[in-house]
Structure 1
Amino acid sequence: MDIQDVLPQDSIPSIDEPSFGSSYFGDDDDDVIVVGSDPPRAYPVRILSYHEIVNDVLDGSFHSGTFTSSDASDEQLPIAVTWCPICASGIVYVRAAGGQVLTFGTSGKLADDALVMYDHETESEWKQPLGEAITGPLDGESLPVVPASMMSWHQFREAYPDGIVLQPVYGGERDPRRGSPKTAYDMTPYERYESKEAFGLRAMRGEGPERTWDRDDISAKTTVLGIVHDGDAVGYPLSVIQSEGGVVSDSVGGRSVLIVSSGGDLHAFAHPGDQFEFRDETLYGDGVSWNLATGESSDGRQLTRLPARRLYAFAWQDDHGRESFYRLN
Structure 2
Amino acid sequence: MLRLWGIVVALWVAGMAQATPPFWENEWPDTNFDRTSVANWAEIISGGPGKDGIPALSDPDFVKVADKRGIAGPEPVIAVEIAGATPRAYPIRYLTWHEIVNDRIGGVPVAVTFCPLCNSALTFDRRVDGRELTFGVTGKLRFSDMVMYDRETQSWWQQAIGEAIVGELTGAELRQVPSWLESWEAFSARNPGGLVMAEPGYNRDYGRNPYRNYDSSKRPFLYSGDPPPHGIPALMRVVRVGDRAWPMDRLRQEQTIAEAGVTIDWRAGQASALDASTIARGRDVGSVRVRDEQGHDVPHDVMFAFAFDAFWPEGTWMLGR
TM class by smaller structure: 0.7 to 0.9
Matches within 5 A, 1:1-329: 2-6=43-47, 7-22=49-64, 23-37=68-82, 38-59=85-106, 76-170=107-201, 184-201=205-222, 213=227, 215=229, 217-228=231-242, 233-243=243-253, 245-251=254-260, 256-263=261-268, 264-272=286-294, 303-321=295-313, 323-327=315-319
CA distance in 2, matches of 1:24, 1:4: 38
TM-score by length of 1: 0.73
Structure 1, unmatched stretches of 5+, are 60-75, 178-182, 202-208, 273-302
CA distance in 2, matches of 1:105, 1:24: 28
CA distance in 1, matches of 2:185, 2:301: 22
CA distance in 2, matches of 1:323, 1:195: 24
Q: For the aligned residues, what is the CA RMSD?
A: 2.0
CA distance in 2, matches of 1:9, 1:214: 31
* CA drift at 1:222: 1.4
CA distance in 2, matches of 1:81, 1:309: 12
Answer whether contact 1:98 1:138 (CA < 8 A) is retained.
Answer: no
The amino acid across from 1:269 in the alignment is R
Answer whether contact 1:12 1:51 (CA < 8 A) is retained.
Answer: yes
Provide closer, same or farther for how the CA distance between residues 9 and 165 of structure 1 changes in structure 2, counting only shifts above 3 A: same
In the TM superposition, structure 1's runs of 4+ consecutive aligned residues that sit over 3 Å from their partners are: 209-212, 214-217
Provide closer, same or farther for how the CA distance between residues 248 and 141 of structure 1 changes in structure 2, counting only shifts above 3 A: same
* CA drift at 1:211: 5.6
Answer whether contact 2:163 2:174 (CA < 8 A) is retained.
Answer: yes
Which structure shows the higher helix fraction?
A: 2
CA distance in 1, matches of 2:263, 2:139: 37
Structure 2, unmatched stretches of 5+, are 1-39, 269-285
Provide closer, same or farther for how the CA distance between residues 115 and 166 of structure 1 changes in structure 2, counting only shifts above 3 A: same
* CA drift at 1:134: 0.3
Matched positions, count: 257
CA distance in 1, matches of 2:102, 2:288: 25
Secondary structure at 1:184 match in 2 = coil
